[in-house]
Amino acid sequence: STEHGTECLLSEGLCRTPTCTTFQGVWVFWAGVVIMCVCVCLCVCMCMFSGRRVCFYGVCMYCKKERAACADNGLMEGSVTLWLPDEWEIVKRRHPYQRTYRPGVSARWEKDDNYCRQYVLHRFHTTGPRLLDITDAAVLDYLIGNADRHHYEALNEEGDKGMLLLMDNGKSFGNAFHDERSILAPITQCCRLRGTTWRRLLELHADKSRSLADKLRVILSIDPISPVLHHTHYTAIDRRFDHILRAVKNCIETEGEETVLRGHNIEQEDDVQEN
């Protein structure tokens, strides 16, 4: 998927988005195989319109049957996601930078620039990997324009130390001409980032032969529904990439590398700063 490809470009082999492959003709496959043995929870999200036109809708606060996605002449562009085995227990937690989703009502972090220092750093994320997972996710979310990270999923380990998974990226690549700067709030307010993430961003920036968007374009060129993204989104990715670099550099100039760049866990200093 686009998000998976973007994230793997940013990481050093550690991808947190389930692998997704796109394909066409999905409803031919579903009508012949899946519907015959589909689980009850998926059945309730399926409906019929205009006779035998099969449609489905999601499970969320705003998902409604009236807004279902339907096949066109029996064909529909869809995706198959490599899901996780049942024995891997997943926990869902509220994101500290969740929006209110109420018109005219701002979350505390949207009104208070000291929110991270007064609330996040001191009350919830003084140890462990979680805050750094959240700032890593903010890098990806800003690039793809995903301002809908209201919760996060993670592998269930004691003390909320399990690996964070980026499983809900549906509201991505919307308006290519709008950069939602508030997505970067975990970075601009907390000024913490893994040193490995920062070095990877610098490596991508240093490659003058091909920009981040150009690299992503090559990856997506082999997708069955290529080109996947409109050319305006590639321009947006490179523009937003510069914004991320500037935000982290501002943090480093203000607080210093030793404070901003961390190891795997928030209490660990980046172990290669001195090199």
CA distance 45 to 274: 55
Mutual orientation of helices 195-206 and 231-255 as an angle, nearest 10°? 130
Please enumerate, as own/partner, the contacts of 50-54 that have beta carbons within 8 Å and a separation of 24 or more: 54/27, 54/30
Residues 6 or more apart from 152 whose CB is under 8 A from it? Answer: 92, 93, 95, 133, 134, 137, 164, 165, 166
Q: Is 53 left (phi over 0), alpha (psi -120 to 50) or beta?
A: beta
Other CB atoms within 10 Å distance of the CB of residue 120: 21
Token digits for 87?
A: 């024995």
Burial group, residue 266, by CB count within 10 angstroms (0-12, 13-18, 19+): buried
Residue 148 appears among annotated catalytic residues: yes
Catalytic residue among 133, 136, 141, 148: 148
* Residue (of 63, 215, 227, 193) closest to 116 by Cα position: 193
Give the catalytic positions in this structure.
Answer: 148
